[in-house]
Structure 1
Amino acid sequence: MRLGQTSLLYFSSKIFASFLGALATVYIARILGSEPLGVYNLVIGLVSWFAILGRVGVSKAIAKRVSEGSDKGEYVVAGTIVILFMFLFATAVLVFFRDQIVGYVGYPATGYIIFILFVVLLNGLVDSLLTGLHLVHISGVLSPLRTGGRALAQVSLIIAGVSTASLFIGHIVGYLAAIGIGSYYVMRNIPDLSRPDQDHFGDLFDFAKFSWLGSLQSRMFSYTDIIVLGFFVSSGLVGVYAVAWNVAHFFILFSGALSTTLFPEMSSISTQNDSQAVGRIVEQSLSFGGLFLIPGFLGGAIIGERVLRIYGPEFPKGVTILTLLILANLFMGYQDQLLNTLNAVNHPELAFRVNIVFVGSNLSLNVVLVYLYGWIGAAIATTVSVAISLALAYWHVNSVIEFNLPVDEISKQWFAAILMSGVVYGGLWIESTYRILHHNVATVLLLVGIGASVYLICLFGISAEFRETVKRNVPIDMSVSR
């Protein structure tokens, strides 16, 4: 029950953070247009790639070693030293290639990239410590703080007359706010910091030498298509694609909350050699990994154009991109649970194999398909590469842990989502035919509310597992007295 409540709290925090970010993005898109958004997302994409040089899987390794319970202070110091060293290396690379970076981005952003890289790495360190200390709920609460601080700063600077630079400055401000509060909770719960020895660095390296590719995989899933598009299409189209991506990524938040919450628990259980208990957690994570992604995929295909219209008249042309990217996130939602399992049970070498397949296929497919078909090719490349790596991840997890694929539960989610789709499509047809609301935002909110209600009520009625999970984790008594 505690795991479910922690996941729910983490997910709720992510939802709130995403909502704040979406509001800010709508405002930015309407005031500045798609081109500054494109420049901003190119910069964030570059930062995400350079963050790999700074992290090299160390953040994940810190979370793993700290969650195991011994020598926590030593691992914290060792990980911090490695991350700072790699930040200096990444900064040197950025300075050396600053002219090429300016030419690619189309904006003098090298200094901003360095500052954003620093706060991203520091935030990653704090998040990994919170995860390793079983304080995932604190990490989740920091997410809306970070996003809200960023949004507030960006909007305030735009109102003050600052243009593209406001997006970068606001990004830094949001991260600094989250880092400050997160560090406070880390220092309260971490044992005394101690000088690490060579073995501590070695333990981090043994895990990180495989898990670094997982960090790269995550960054490539989010930004490879955007980075490649920067070479072939205008900043305006990159901005439209980035908005579609942000909307699509909203639906994977619950899956991410599950994997983040379950990692320290599976890691701790795995040290006790209780593979049966780990197998049960894997089944539960897969049962709910697509809980919101499945209806999100079908709903996005129906009202995606209306959703993108909220951002401005130039954004609805990305509706096909949006549908494909939601599908990619659906595949990734399940893959996240499987890779999380492999890392938690100390098989990062298997996760490495899955990630290297994804990295290779994603990069090669993006280059080829973007060159041939433009931004549609980017969305197709991302979706296909995730599907391939998902199949491989399932094969590896099945080889090390005995578990049953929850086909029955997933089928019930699809049934409820299809029923929801019929209701939403009917509502959209009625509104389009009779023009009842005459307001696009109101129409979207109404259809989303109706669709979500139909889906959850239907699923609650047909799925005993979903009913029991809800009853165990809601903070009220749902039993019926007789």
Structure 2
Amino acid sequence: MSVTRSSSKLFAVNVANAGIGFLAVTVFARELGPAGIGAFFLFQALFRVLESGIDLGLNTAIEKRLSEGSSRETMLGSGIVLKFVGFLGVTVLVLAFRGPVNSYVGEPVAGLLILTVGASQLATIATTTLRGELRVGETAVLFLANQVVYALLGVVFVLGFDTGPVGLVYGVIAGSLVSFLWGVTKLDTRPARPSVVSVRSLLSYTKYNVIPALGVQVHNWTDVLIIGLILTQADVGSYEVAWRVAAITLLFPNALGVSLLPQASALSARGDRERVGRLISNALFPAVALVIPAVFGTLVFAESILGILFGPEYAAAALVLIVLVAGKVPEAVQVVVGRVLLGIDRPDLVARATVVAAVLNVGLNVVLIPRYGLVGAAVATTLAFTVGMVQRSWYLRTEVAYRLPVANVLRVTAVSAVMGGVLVGVQSVVAVTDVLGLVGVVLVGVTTFATGVLVVPSLRALAFDYARTYRRG
């Protein structure tokens, strides 16, 4: 399946996932309040950090080695064994610190934390194997099933049985198990007895990729973990709700990045760096084309988005939302560039950039959160990601020749600015006070942006070319 086809398929399902997840978070945030949803977000932060302690770059290593096409069964079996060893270590760690874990989250969740990590690792094995088989698009339905089960069971437990944040954890565990069981039925590769050679091959890749893998979690959860230590669970809830809204803008860049790694890996294994260069050149503009208009839309309606959808107590995080959405522009570029670097077997370069960005992220959060609160956390994360993007882009330039789509980025920025002006005009005439009104202004923004793209010849040509490529598959 081509990068265009698979990334578009993932994007379509990611839109559905985002819609389901957004609706679920809206319901849960209103039902539980900032403190209750904040406790769940702290649980998620711990869960993801522990997962990264098992992964240590292993997921990408398995995907990379499977995509190369040799000894797939043995490679998968070796990867599973390494994951199991990591899971045992995490289990011992959580049991040893179950008291502090429960106290930090504010709920008795230590045992559930172990179950959640285990279930998620099973689901990850299925999706990683499919990616390694160059069947990225087929992972889409697994993500959708996971999200649907989580959302439905979360509603049942939280609204039906009044379980509080713990009910959302039950949904997460069940979603992962469904994703795993469904994924297993799709796999062509079955695990075989591990070998020393395969284990060494995986570890040789993870020794550099471990840092990028940890870096993702540092970026995603450092701010939340530090907010939880310095501020309150309610602050965690408000900040993470803003983060979840901002994350919607990365749906397509993430789908594109997932599709790029196995394709870049296969091309690089054949020594075709020229086609890798064309791959990245063609991917950079689509990665940011939908993020930039989101920045302008958020500038106008950030307070309305949070206040109307989640409740008036969340509207105070409007500036946080604006900063986080602006930070998704460099993050979108970093997602694409970083995945290509991993695909061409240069995790060492990604590791160097990750160390710099991670240290900067932690340091800035520690300095800025006590002084500026949630806005400080957003600024720290955005600055760290911008530095990481610049460094990764420079490293990729030393490996592969590619073009930056500067002219088209400027054009789409101009179109987005016009859209923002239209939205300001709408806001001055119409008071947006409910969900229907918010949907209406979003449709006005989308229509204005789409019209602007069609008016500009180069952007129109790119849009039509992408649509034709998708239909060809």
What range describes the TM-score normalised by the shorter chain of this pair?
over 0.9
Question: Aligned partner of 1:456: which letter?
Answer: A
TM-score by length of 2: 0.96
Q: Distance in 2 between matches of 1:474 and 1:307?
A: 32
Question: Could you say if the C-alpha distance between residues 29 and 193 of structure 1 is closer, same or farther in structure 2, counting changes exceeding 3 Å?
Answer: closer
Q: Any idea what SS the aligned residue of 1:196 has?
A: coil
* 3-state SS of 2:310 partner: coil
The residue number in structure 2 matching 1:29 is 29
Shift of 1:439: 4.5
Equivalence map 1:81-96=2 (5 Å): 81-96=81-96
- Equivalent positions of 1:135-150 (< 5 A) are 135-150=135-150
Given the superposition, is the C-alpha separation of residues 439 and 366 from structure 1 closer, same or farther in structure 2, using an over 3 Å criterion? closer
**Structure 2 residue 468 is the aligned partner of structure 1 residue 472:** yes
Match of 1:479 in 2: none
Whether the 8 Å contact between 2:292 and 2:416 is mirrored in structure 1 is: yes
Aligned partner letter, 2:16: F
Q: 1:166 maps to which residue? A: 167
Q: CA deviation at 1:270?
A: 0.5
Alpha-carbon separation, structure 1, partners of 2:433 and 2:375 = 29
1:354-382 CA-to-partner distances (Å, cap 9, x unmatched) read 11111111111111111222211111110
In structure 2, distance between residues paired with 1:439 and 1:271: 55
What's the CA shift for 1:454? 1.5
Q: Partners of 1:45 and 1:86 in 2: how far apart?
A: 18
How far did residue 461 of structure 1 move? 3.0
Cα offset for 1:184? 1.2
**Range moving further from structure 2, 318-327 or 461-470:** 461-470
> 1:442: how far off?
1.0
Equivalent residue of 1:273, what SS? Answer: coil
Matched residue of 1:290: which SS? helix
**Match of 1:466, as an amino acid?**
L
Deviations 1:370-421 (A, max 9, x none): 1222211111110111111111111101111111111112112111111111
Pairing of 1:11-410 with structure 2 (within 5 A): 11-161=11-161, 162-186=163-187, 189-190=188-189, 192-309=190-307, 310-410=309-409
Aligned to 1:461: 455
Residue pair 2:281, 2:403 contacting (<8 A) in 1 also: yes
CA contact (8 A) 1:370 1:377 kept: yes
Distance 2:471 2:442 in 1: 25
Asked whether the 8 Å contact 1:41–1:239 carries over to 2, the reply is yes
Aligned partners of 2:154 and 2:168 also within 8 Å: yes
Within 5 A, what are the aligned runs for 1:419-434?
419-432=418-431
Separation in 2, partners of 1:9, 1:17: 12
Aligned equivalents of 2:238, 2:169: Cα separation in 1: 18
The residue identity in structure 2 corresponding to 1:425 is: V
The alpha-carbon deviation at position 44 of structure 1 amounts to 0.4
TM-superposed deviation, 1:287: 1.2
What letter is aligned with 1:424? Answer: L
> Which amino acid in the other structure matches residue 174 of structure 2?
V
Matched residues in 2 for 1:110 and 1:343: separation? 34
Q: Is the Cα–Cα contact under 8 Å of residues 328 and 383 in structure 1 kept in the other structure?
A: yes
Alignment check: 8 A CA contact 2:289 2:412 kept:
yes
For 1:23, the aligned partner's letter is L
Q: Take 1:461 and 1:14, find their aligned partners in 2: how far apart are those partners? A: 28
Task: Report if the CA contact (8 A) 2:264-2:343 is conserved.
Answer: yes
Distance 2:411 2:263 in 1: 27
Contact 1:427–1:447 (8 Å) recurs in 2: yes
Contact 1:18-1:144 at 8 Å conserved across structures = no
* 27-36 vs 260-269, which moves further: 27-36
Mapped to 1, the partners of 2:470 and 2:273 lie a distance apart of 28
Cα contact 2:52–2:214 (8 A) shared by 1: yes
Match for 2:86: what amino acid?
Answer: M
Question: Does 1:449 find its partner at 2:428?
Answer: no
Letter in 2 for 1:270: S
Cα distance in 2, alignment partners of residues 34 and 326 from structure 1: 21
Identity of aligned residues (%): 26
| Cα deviation code 1:301-333 (max 9, x no counterpart) | 111111101111111111011011112222111
Q: CA deviation at 1:273?
A: 1.0
Q: Distance in 2 between matches of 1:42 and 1:54?
A: 19
In structure 2, the CA distance between the partners of 1:203 and 1:460, relative to structure 1 (3 Å rule), is farther
Stretches of 4+ aligned residues off by more than 4 angstroms:
none
Change (3 A) 1:389 1:149: same
Task: Read off the aligned partner of 1:273 and give its amino acid letter.
Answer: G
Residue identity matched to 1:167: L
CA contact (8 A) 1:283 1:406 kept: yes
- TM superposition shift of 1:473: 3.6
| Residues 138 and 182 in structure 1, CA contact (< 8 A), matched pair in contact too | no
Q: How far apart, CA to CA, are the structure 1 residues paired with 2:299 and 2:183?
A: 38
- Which AA in structure 2 matches 1:266? A
Question: Which range moved further: 67-76 or 30-39?
Answer: 30-39
The CA deviation string for residues 14-33 of structure 1, in whole angstroms up to 9 with x for no partner, is 11011001111111122221
Q: What is the CA–CA distance in structure 2 between the aligned matches of 1:457 and 1:281, rounded to whole Å?
A: 28
Local SS of the residue matching 2:313: coil
Gaps of 5+ in 1: 433-437, 477-482
Deviates more, 1:205-214 or 1:55-64: 205-214
TM value normalised by structure 1: 0.94
Whether the 8 Å contact between 2:130 and 2:138 is mirrored in structure 1 is: yes
Equivalent AA in structure 1 for residue 253 of structure 2: S
Distance in 2, Cα, partners of 1:29 & 1:401: 45
Q: How is 1:408-419 mapped onto 2 (pairs within 5 angstroms)? A: 408-419=407-418
Contact 2:280 2:402 in 1 (8 A): yes
- Secondary structure class of the residue paired with 1:304: helix
**How far off its partner does 1:341 sit?**
1.2
